Structure 1
Amino acid sequence: MPPKSDLEHLTQIDTIEFLASKSTCADFSMEGGTLHLQVEAAAPGVYRLRCGPQGSLDPDKLSPRKRAHAEMLIARQEAVGELAVSSIAESARQGWRLEQGDTVLELQLSPFQFSVYRGGACLMSSRAGGTLAHGQAGGQALWQLCIDLDGDDALHGGGETGGELDRRGTRLVSDDPACRALPLVWSTKGWGLYVNTLARIEHDLDSERDDGYRIAVHDALLDAYLFVGEPSEILNQYTALTGRAGQPGLWPMGVWLDQAAGQSLADTLGAVREFRANEWGLDVVRLAPPAVCGFQSDKPAFEWDAARVPDPRAMFAAFQDLNVQVAAPFFPGVPSGTELFTEWEDRGWLLINDDGEAHVFPGTEVTGGKPFGLLDLTNKDVFKLWSERQRQLVDEGLGAPACDAQFDIPDGITARGGETGAVLRSIYPLLARQALFDAVAGHKTPQEGVICSTDLFPTAQRFAWQDGACGGNGWPAMERSLRTALSLGDSGVPVQTHALGSAKHPLDEMTPELYVRWLAMSVFSANFRFQGHPQLLPSAFDAQTRELVRHWLQWRYRLVPYVLGIIEDAVRSGLPVQRSMALCFPGDTLAQAWDTQYMLGPALLVAPVLKPGKEVQVYLPKGEAWWDLNTGWRYEGGTTWTVQADLDTLPIFGREGHMLCLGPTVQHSGEFNSARILDEVWMFGMPEHSPVVMRNKIRVMQMQGSSYIKGLEGLRILPSEGLEVKRRGAEVRISRAR
């Protein structure tokens, strides 16, 4: 948070006066008319609060740059809700009530405070006497918003963490790459908050233990969205507002292999052939850093690194013969000390420092240690050039680019559009990912494609692929990988892929048992990557472990139609592939304590084995019945069980009323029959919900105690015990066995 001396000089806002209201918004003046507050019904259950100097909220007065920034952050600009405004005139309080159905936002006087209600219950209140303050800090405008918390407020979202999913007690700075921050925070009590700006936001989530959530916003305007509803509905409204993911396509759902550092193409192809020979499924090879292709030293044309890829056509042909796609690393810059660097510096196509010269960034792994200048992607011509060069590589056969562009850009570095400091640090990875996505998917209908990146930034949820970091080779590293995926899902990002181990960490921690457990967890996730280091490949282990690898990879490909269906559903709902207990069961506080369990989509509860041994404790959330995939037994929810899990099993439970649709056993995505992507259906009790499944139209209807299902033609159906299946042409009837 800003220094206390800065906060002490802020002016607390105590007075508010009603001005006017329309069907979608209400306007108020604050502090004797010097400030303007507008409350808008952005959507059902969503309130937008905008506060700034009088006249500053008029969208027609925005500069072109501010308008462009607004369009980067918000996908739906118009309000789609309706407000009913009435006054509160009670002896204990006065103010105004802004209603949307059963959701109410109350603005109270003396002192100014707001509260949110749903169904008559108070979900959240700002701090009495300290709700809102504004002023200057370091010559810049600063706002502080304070929300009261109680013991029932578990705060989730806020970006990536490898620790507790409840973020209370942490501090986050939006433009600090080390914080791995994202802008949405929500409570299990049923409210969420998103501050809509590219400027610096500092979140103090009760770090001083004063039962308060303080947000400092370094911007001339305060623009915040309040969400009211279940966490799943908050993610739905948040992603509808800020944008949702495109489709990843089929082949990215297959297994990935990261090339080992320094490994030749011949050795990598040899590893792929070993996968094929052992019937280990594989679809993608990602080449290792440094970048294998970049701008020539004297012209803006891409060229391949001849030492690593002497013949690009031959490389693509060799991988295609093995039914493998290629991903490769790139960076949006040009090495310093080259003719092109000098030319683009003169042209103003690189980010510049206070002296007006192109800033030279120190070398990184992807640049091969060479210092470089960063392309100014705020310049439309530069953005287009960078995207078009990547598009040429895609046309040549590249499956996906890999690019981390969340550089720690120092203050004082400026883009052509005037962006600098926190705004530039926030906007740069956004522009880099968008340019690459345009190159890969912009010409397709619907847009399909993935960009490999670990970058986090506002609107990261618009891109359906997020790389998980390679964080180690021990049991704690496996748990961190899981927690980062669940925390990103809580923050609105639909997909995080896991890395199975890390060549950059001690390798002796990776035991056969851990390897298989990590693989099993990764199979029941959005996706994962093998590491190409010889000691981290399946071939490094004994025959029994290699057979278990084959077993779990067969499961992975059978799950592809279900997992891709979950991602397709994210386009409609904003829900992630791996879902935390807090996200799915906000009313079950005991379930939230079991925060390394997760839901894989709507149908499966997964309890990964995170320590040596076969014995695993599992909590089954209350209000549901659960079916053990390994035994077929049914359990009531609200119960805790100790289960035995050999290395070829994983504690997985099907949610009653749902179905799991599985594909055939294949070695790569090219073996899927697009006309028959499904092979088998598992039922967990009487079907009540249409299944999440890729590209198939399956509908469930209930009549007279039976379920009638259309869309299961030709599929094997495995009903739960006590049910019987009858086929009637294209329709399947599920009823109680007599």
Structure 2
Amino acid sequence: MPLQFDSSRYQRLESLSLNTSSPAAIRFTTDQGQAVLVEASAPGVFRLSMGTPAATGKPASGSATRAAALHDLLARDEAIGEAVVEQADVGGQPGWRIVQGDNVLEIAAHPVRLALYRKGQQVLASSADEDLCPLGTEDASAPASWALCFDLAAGEAVHGLGESRIMLDRRAERVVSDEAGSRALPLAWSPRGWGLYVNTLESVVHDIGLPEFAPDSYVVTVADAQLDVFLFVGEPAEILNQYTQLTGRAGQPTLWSMGAWLHQAADTGAEQLASVAGQMRSRGVPVDAVSFRPPAAWEIRAKLNLEWDAARFPDPRQVLGEFKGLDLKVCAPGFPGVPTHSPMFAELEDKGWLLTDETGAAQVFAGVPASAGGSFGLLDLTHRDVWTFWRDKIRQIMDEGVDAVSCDIQFDIPDGVEARNGDTGARLRTAYPMLAKRCLFEAAAWNKTPPEGVVWSRDLFPTGQRLPMQAPVSVPNTWEGLAESLRAALTSGASGLPAHAHDIGSPEHPLGTMTPELYLRWLAAGVFSSHLRFHAVPGLLPWDFGDEAFQHAQTLMQWRYRLIPYVLGVIEDAARTGLPVQRSMALSFPDDPEAHAHELQYLLGPALLVVPAVQPGNQIRVYFPKGEAWWDLNTGWRYEGGTSWTFECGLDRLPVFGREGHMLCLGPAAQHTGEFNSARILDEVWLFGMPVHNPSVMRNKIRVMQMQGSSYAKGLEGLKILPSEGLEVKRRGAEVRISRAR
């Protein structure tokens, strides 16, 4: 990949002519005779297609294969919006305005340029830099690569595009979609009010204000003969909503996954893991699930059966039964690889069930942790029979008592490797982890409506937001490591992923840097996240830091379990809104630039502002976003938005604030989620000022209505209600009236 964008490789599209138009679709032709289709894909969403079957009206080569592919990127391909086309003067040149209410896509005919407008204000426009290519192709007669270049305003931030531990703003970065190190996801957006998604499995390079050659430009190069781009207009929350409607939304995680996880230590067996889990329970630290380390717990053997690793699991039923006896769920590592030493390798190669090299033989991959360092071949999951086979075999494993499968498969697949459906190179590198995770989730969610299950994975790929959660990042056991883990969660959420787990420390890094203070701050951040996991490693367990720190850890974990109904309710909301559990300031408050500067503050769902401590000391600076008032969960005091305060915060708590107009529904304290009463999952409700919003809570049946200056809530029968200062609560049968105190 070149270090900078070479505009000389690309021929600009010099002119367009209008062919036909309808409320949903407008067809153009370029000066080179290329067909261009612009669709009103949805309200605030414009689709620009060139060289695609939809644009040309001709079936693409291999279109039958694409239509039947297991890795379709779009959950909704048809346009559902409407637009009006107007001829217009665009920068002194003829052109068109494609209007959807307050949102407008402006197209200049000569030379071809694009501009997006929201409520009359330009939010994105093709680059005016003559050294760049506003819109062009590498070869007009046979396009193989496309380029789009846009101007960035001074100081404009760009968010999304995957996971980053460095900054939430991706400006001055290069992100390459098929490089595992880029941790890439395909959605980019700006608080100014625009978003961009390139719909392809081929390699996409995002150069976002690179100081070396285009500090004021966002350059996108697409290594695909077909250009298919979606442009979004709106606030970031609206963009995530439309993006996830377009590309698919999350399945439902299980209730138990919201509890604490415990991960196996290296060089230990199931007995030691069960012993540590039992200690946690006996010492009053709740835990719900255990997870085993790689390598894979089973492999394909005779008669295409999955057989457990006899050395680690001599009696799988007995091992699983021991954990079930402790009311613990089990996550075991799986892997779609076939060891070369296995007698099944040659048989599967003959069946054509493995990815192949340039000679047509099965590709042999070097060892990875999941294969215990041994060489292997990969099941060709683009082959529907293979995909179904692996799904059904994993389903059988889960019927034996495994509750979830962990699997990391995102590594560099060489360009010469090919799948049965023709995928190779960047396309295969992008598609393979997506296929593996979809297969595992379908196995976990078998016959459940709505689909519910857990796949524990670090892999990132397009449509990753269809899975309920993302596994945590391994970072140093330092204050900066804690900050990195928070950035990873917030950038993943800003890219469309609903939930990101947090590890409490990392056994892959030196443990001596983990102090009692840092451990408790780390644990507090994990408590106020979607999922958290402990490590069964001496030096990273809650009782390893002294009695006082252990008592604080117990208090924090009580908070965690009381928060579960709220957190699960927020994830259920993600399936309706596309918004993640942890929401950055730029995502939640795009019109408040001062809030964006506090990048590690975040909203946990819609109701809670969380301010993690990421440096030593009890003094923590908090900025309250404008337009809201905020209530301190620790003191009940109210703070106006647009102000900054410094709080003295002990090690048993974090600064957490309730958003005015919202409610927080809490469950009971418990040792595991199996103790929850499914008929009464809630214990009490906290009010932050007069409630005007329906609360986020699992299986939500609580509704709030306003009338004559009071709020009336239904669904709070039998719950303890804690009003904020100045409010009174009166029960009226099945209804609760909340009004100003007289």
- Give the TM bin, normalised by the shorter chain: over 0.9
| Structure 1, unaligned runs of 5 or more | none
2:328 to 317, 324, 327: 324
Contact 2:52/2:60 (8 A) holds in 1:
no
Deviations, residues 423-460 of structure 1 (Å, cap 9, x unaligned): 00010001000111111103211211010000000000
Q: Secondary structure at the match of 2:391?
A: helix
Partner of 1:164: 167
Contact 1:152/1:189 (8 A) holds in 2:
no
Partner of 1:709: 713
Deviations, residues 250-278 of structure 1 (Å, cap 9, x unaligned): 11111000011111211111111101111
- 1:148 lines up with 2:154 in the alignment: no
Contact 1:283/1:668 (8 A) holds in 2:
yes
CA drift at 1:292? 1.6
Deviations, residues 28-52 of structure 1 (Å, cap 9, x unaligned): 11124x2111100110000000012
Write the letter of the residue equivalent to 1:83: A
Mapping of residues 715-726 of structure 1, within 5 Å: 715-726=719-730
- 1:200 lines up with 2:203 in the alignment: yes
Partner of 1:134: 137
Partner of 1:22: 22
Mapping of residues 326-475 of structure 1, within 5 Å: 326-475=330-479
* % identity of equivalent residues: 54
1:238 to 223, 235, 243: 243
Residue 723 to residue 342, structure 1, CA distance change in 2 (3 Å): same
CA drift at 1:152? 4.7
CA drift at 1:407? 2.1
Q: Secondary structure at the match of 1:397?
A: coil
Residue 53 to residue 619, structure 1, CA distance change in 2 (3 Å): closer
2:255 to 250, 257, 264: 250
Deviations, residues 595-641 of structure 1 (Å, cap 9, x unaligned): 00000000000001111110000000011111111111101000000
CA drift at 1:54? 9.3
Deviations, residues 634-677 of structure 1 (Å, cap 9, x unaligned): 01000000001101111011100001000000110000001100
Contact 2:49/2:55 (8 A) holds in 1:
no
Q: Larger deviation: 340-349 or 123-132?
A: 123-132
Contact 1:169/1:209 (8 A) holds in 2:
no
CA distance in 2, matches of 1:3, 1:516: 42
CA distance in 1, matches of 2:24, 2:628: 39
Residue 69 to residue 190, structure 1, CA distance change in 2 (3 Å): farther
> What's the TM-score once normalised by structure 2's chain length?
0.97
Partner of 2:220: 215
Write the letter of the residue equivalent to 2:707: M
CA drift at 1:72? 1.2
Q: Secondary structure at the match of 2:596?
A: helix
CA drift at 1:67? 2.2
Q: Larger deviation: 420-429 or 360-369?
A: 360-369
CA drift at 1:53? 8.0
CA drift at 1:56? 5.9
CA distance in 2, matches of 1:64, 1:540: 59
CA distance in 2, matches of 1:714, 1:54: 59
Partner of 2:125: 125
Partner of 1:677: 681
CA distance in 1, matches of 2:307, 2:177: 36
Contact 2:521/2:651 (8 A) holds in 1:
yes
Residue 652 to residue 427, structure 1, CA distance change in 2 (3 Å): same
CA drift at 1:55? 8.3
Partner of 1:97: 97
Structural RMSD (CA): 1.6
Contact 1:134/1:144 (8 A) holds in 2:
yes
Partner of 1:610: 614
Partner of 2:81: 81
Partner of 2:293: 288
CA drift at 1:229? 0.3
Write the letter of the residue equivalent to 2:48: L
CA drift at 1:461? 0.4
Residue 479 to residue 221, structure 1, CA distance change in 2 (3 Å): same
Residue 634 to residue 154, structure 1, CA distance change in 2 (3 Å): same
Write the letter of the residue equivalent to 2:277: V
CA drift at 1:319? 0.7
Contact 1:156/1:186 (8 A) holds in 2:
yes
Contact 1:69/1:198 (8 A) holds in 2:
no
Contact 1:261/1:289 (8 A) holds in 2:
no
Partner of 1:225: 230
CA distance in 2, matches of 1:442, 1:184: 30
CA drift at 1:27? 0.6
CA distance in 2, matches of 1:672, 1:609: 31
Write the letter of the residue equivalent to 1:261: A
Contact 1:35/1:53 (8 A) holds in 2:
no
1:687 to 684, 691, 695: 691
Q: Secondary structure at the match of 1:528?
A: strand
1:278 to 280, 283, 308: 283
Residue 69 to residue 140, structure 1, CA distance change in 2 (3 Å): farther
CA drift at 1:338? 2.3
CA distance in 1, matches of 2:224, 2:446: 33
Partner of 1:630: 634
CA distance in 2, matches of 1:699, 1:578: 24
CA distance in 1, matches of 2:150, 2:671: 52
> What's the TM-score once normalised by structure 1's chain length?
0.97
Deviations, residues 403-426 of structure 1 (Å, cap 9, x unaligned): 011121011000111110000001
CA distance in 2, matches of 1:131, 1:428: 32
CA drift at 1:9? 2.9
| Structure 2, unaligned runs of 5 or more | none
Partner of 1:50: 49
Partner of 1:595: 599
Residue 445 to residue 59, structure 1, CA distance change in 2 (3 Å): farther
Q: Larger deviation: 212-221 or 302-311?
A: 302-311
Contact 2:90/2:96 (8 A) holds in 1:
no
Contact 1:621/1:637 (8 A) holds in 2:
yes
Residue 91 to residue 530, structure 1, CA distance change in 2 (3 Å): closer
Residue 108 to residue 65, structure 1, CA distance change in 2 (3 Å): same
CA drift at 1:93? 3.5
CA drift at 1:531? 0.9
CA distance in 2, matches of 1:302, 1:232: 43
Partner of 1:586: 590
**Equivalences, count:** 735
Residue 630 to residue 668, structure 1, CA distance change in 2 (3 Å): same
